[in-house]
Amino acid sequence: MVSGEFEISTDPSRIDVELVHDFLSHSYWAQGRTRAIVERSINNSLGFGVYRSTQQVAFARVITDRAVFAYLADVFVVPEFRGRGISKALVRAILDHPDLRSLRLILLQTRDAHGLYAKFGFRVPSQPEWIMELPAPDAEAR
């Protein structure tokens, strides 16, 4: 719980796919992502929604094997609900989830939220030379 007004849930049936798609398709990191790809990404991840009654106000998903590794992705709070501690409560709920709290490594990428994640112990990799990527030739379209 963020407060009595908000609830955090991992129930996939509650996720407002239209809201998530609309937000992500206009975000800097997922601009133009199709609804089909958003749906597939949600279906193959551990999704977290923040709700005020039945209205979804925030989202994040975790791609994980639930044993060793996870990647935190697509974290957002709807603009009119920012500044209420929702993002902090959401990240705390993710890190406290029983399937995630004992993982060896959780990675994420961010352009502008380093301060938020640093509060939870995230940092620049101590050995970035160990990390490699293989972007798809058309990665911008995904």
For the chain (length 142 residues), average pLDDT per consecutive 10? Answer: 83 98 96 95 98 97 98 98 96 97 96 95 94 82 54
Strand pairing class (46-52; 55-64): antiparallel
Instruction: Report yes or no on 33 lying in a domain.
Output: yes
pLDDT of residue 53: 94
pLDDT of residue 136: 84
Instruction: Report yes or no on 71 lying in a domain.
Output: yes
Instruction: Report yes or no on 1 lying in a domain.
Output: no
Give the integer Cα–Cα distance in Å for 124 and 8. 28
Give the integer Cα–Cα distance in Å for 51 and 31. 24
Count of the separate structural domains present in the chain: 1
Instruction: Report yes or no on 99 lying in a domain.
Output: yes
Instruction: Report yes or no on 116 lying in a domain.
Output: yes
pLDDT of residue 2: 63
Instruction: Report yes or no on 80 lying in a domain.
Output: yes
pLDDT of residue 142: 53
Domain range spanning residue 32?
Answer: 7-121
Instruction: Report yes or no on 56 lying in a domain.
Output: yes
pLDDT of residue 1: 47
What is the domain-level CATH number for residue 101? Answer: 3.40.630.30
pLDDT of residue 66: 97
